[in-house]
Structure 1
């Protein structure tokens, strides 16, 4: 009975906004990863597999290394989160505390990367660039797995191909399009555009937007948890 009631509940506005912010953060980080590092993506596994095949087919060792680092970082991040959130109880109304902790760890990883990026003026050496490529993918693997662990209270934030297909078929196709999927798509574009512009005009600051966006998402996603805590401690 409780599960049936949960299935009728949709995530609140604060969680939907937090998802949009995380999507924007992934877009911003993809700009830094692809344009500022080694021309691979931090969180788009399908594209990186294709880039790995293309680099291998053309005999480009640097391209192979970059793609392998990105794929490995994403996989390690997702696996670590899977272990940390094993048995985590999910609900449609809030993100579990372990998911919130994971997002905090992601923000810390991104902050370290932004600091290194800034100290090098946005032009890290080869070894540092490889480490940052792995770290960026690690952060995206962490974020992606955290959203899976959050269940119905979340949505994909690092890949939107399936999201767009579902929206077209089940949203536009049925006459119930909604606004949150388009907002996620716009968030991805805006996040990518902001970091891309910074790479051009103020390169040392280009890695900062992903950090700020993830922190804002965490703050907004805490609203349902704070409300639940207030309800549980309030007068009966």
Structure 2
């Protein structure tokens, strides 16, 4: 599929098969979840992004230039949270070898950890009625970025069986430059881009209609993605049917 920059990874001699449909759908669900988290982060927390660190670096520079302590704090919390999340995943997955047919058990455990973290965020969010303030707001901002760091690093560790889910600028640029729909993996790029928009739109609608429950959406999407990604692992059990391309 694609690497973390959105570029195509040439098939290796030991891995010729394409990822299964269920894995592609799981990636789409994770993208939708990141769109929902970004909506909460930018519109209802500290006006920074939970998973797009390039933008946060620019926001940090602008806040510093204007002398806004609040903006600097928010950007730093997001940057540190994302970095910590990615580092936490990098340690247990550093020796993992990407398998095209399924995601490794370590990658799956990292995604479960993300779901648990998002569930904790949703619980706090609901407890304050969807209107966090002060220290609670900062903690939730850090937690949201931490979750996106975990998700981004997990997808890198999954290798060719996954694709970027938190930052799609490189994916869009590669899709435009190298041709529309020229390979099987690129045919899924519109689905991922659309999922980002759909996740953000659905979360925004929840923030307006039922703000206390808006943070439940990304939890549900990540859980659905995990369930979807488990299907190839179930078929790899002894006596099961091995995944096909």
TM-score range, shorter chain: over 0.9
Matched with 1:25 is 33
Relative to 1, partners in 2 of residues 1:132 and 1:217: Cα closer, same or farther, differing over 3 Å? same
Per-residue deviation, 1:178: 4.6
Matched with 2:66 is 58
Relative to 1, partners in 2 of residues 1:148 and 1:180: Cα closer, same or farther, differing over 3 Å? same
* Corresponding residue to 1:192 among 200, 224, 231: 200
Runs of 4+ in 1 over 6 A off after TM superposition: none
In the alignment, the residues of structure 1 paired with residue 113 and residue 184 of structure 2 have an alpha-carbon distance, to the nearest angstrom, of 36
Matched with 1:78 is 86
Matched with 2:13 is 4
Per-residue deviation, 1:90: 1.7
Matched with 1:93 is 101
Per-residue deviation, 1:168: 1.4
Q: Is the 8 A contact 1:107 1:214 kept in 2?
A: yes
Matched with 1:14 is 22
Q: Is the 8 A contact 1:107 1:211 kept in 2?
A: yes
Normalized per residue, the structure richer in helix is 1
Once superposed, what is the RMSD of the aligned Cα atoms? Answer: 1.9
Q: Is the 8 A contact 1:147 1:155 kept in 2?
A: yes
Q: State which drifts further: 161-170 or 97-106.
A: 161-170
Structure 1: runs of 5 or more not aligned: none
Per-residue deviation, 1:84: 1.3
* Corresponding residue to 1:69 among 55, 60, 77: 77
Q: Does 1:211 align with 2:225?
A: no
Matched with 2:177 is 169
Structure 2: runs of 5 or more not aligned: 1-11
Per-residue deviation, 1:151: 0.4
Per-residue deviation, 1:33: 0.4
Per-residue deviation, 1:89: 2.3
Q: What is the DSSP-based 3-state SS (H/G/I as helix, E as strand, rest coil) of the residue aligned with 2:179?
A: helix
Q: Describe how 1:154-165 pairs up with structure 2 within 5 A.
A: 154-165=162-173
Q: Does 1:131 align with 2:118?
A: no
